[in-house]
A = this chain, B = another copy of it.
Amino acid sequence: MFTLDPRLAGDTVPVTRLALCEVRLTDEIAWPWLILVPMRPDTRELLDLTAEDRYRLVDEIALAERVLADLHSPDKLNVAALGNQVAQLHVHVIARRIGDAAWPQPVWGATARALHPPGEAAAAAARLAAAFAARSDADG
């Protein structure tokens, strides 16, 4: 039985659910920053997924990249599965711009946390959810 790690839940708001992943938006304001969590129990590494789920995951990462590109026209996309602090497998998909708060370094630990004002993360998540739905229709 899959349950979302409470640390991931605490730092994010829900966006949508895809075939494999729950998609969340982090509450950091400095970057459009999605987290994809495969809804599979006891999963820490890509290796813990079946091959079929790995293909689903990379398709959903690509979908998340398209959505961020549609909404934010980033200069670069960053994708990472680290899990040193929260072991549950989760994939960061982050829209980067030249000159952003961490550029050209990775975002982790780059700045003091600055969070969305109340309500704004949920509004951003709603826009993202609509973009996922539109893209899934167009691609599917």
What is A's interface to B at a CB cutoff of 8 Å? Answer: 44-47, 51, 54-55, 57-59, 61-62, 65-66, 69, 76-85, 87, 96, 103-106, 108-109
B residues less than 8 Å from A87 (CB atoms): 76
Please name 12 pairs of A and B residues whose Cβ atoms are closer than 8 Å in the assembled complex, sorted by A: A44-B76, A46-B62, A54-B55, A54-B58, A76-B82, A76-B83, A76-B87, A78-B80, A79-B81, A80-B81, A84-B96, A105-B108
Interface SS, A side: mixed
**A82 contacts which of B45, B55, B106 (Cβ < 8 Å)?**
B106
> How long is the Cα–Cα vector from A47 to B91 in the complex, in angstroms?
16
Chain B residues whose C-beta falls within 8 Å of the C-beta of A85 in the assembled complex: 104
Given A46-B65, A65-B45, A66-B47, A84 contacting B58 (CB threshold 8 A): no
Given contacts A45-B76, A47-B77, 7 further A-B contacts (CB under 8 A): A45-B65, A54-B55, A54-B62, A58-B58, A79-B80, A84-B96, A106-B106
Selected from B47, B55, B79, the residue in CB contact (under 8 A) with A46 is B79
Q: Which residue in B76, B77, B82, B96 is a CB contact (below 8 Å) of A78?
A: B82
Q: Give every chain B residue within 8 A of A57 (Cβ-Cβ).
A: 58
**Contact call A103/B79, Cβ cutoff below 8 A:** no
The one of B46, B104, B106, B109 that contacts A58, using a Cβ cutoff of 8 Å: B46
